[in-house]
Amino acid sequence: MNDERGVAPPPVPADVGIVAALPIEVDDLIHGLKKVWKYQSATVPVIEGEYGGKIVAVATGGPGRLAARRAAEVLLIGHRPRWMISAGFAGALNPAFARNDLILPDEVIDQQGGRHVVDQPPALGAGCPHARGRLLTLDHPVLSSEEKKELRRTFEADLVDMETSAVAAVCNEKLVRFLSIRVISDDAHGDLPREVAALLSHTGSYRVGAAMRAVWRRPSSLKDFWALYERALEAAGRLAQFVTRCLDDLPA
Task: Determine the pLDDT at residue 170.
Answer: 97
> Which ranges of the chain have pLDDT less than 50?
1-5, 201-206, 208-209, 211-212, 215-216
Task: Determine the pLDDT at residue 14.
Answer: 95
Q: What is the pTM of this model?
A: 0.87
b/e 101-117 (16+ beta carbons within 10 angstroms → b)? bbbbbbbbbbeeeeebe
Q: CATH assignment of 16-192+235-249?
A: 3.40.50.1580
CA atoms of 45 and 151, how far apart (whole Å): 33
Q: What is the domain partition of the chain in residue ranges? A: 16-192+235-249
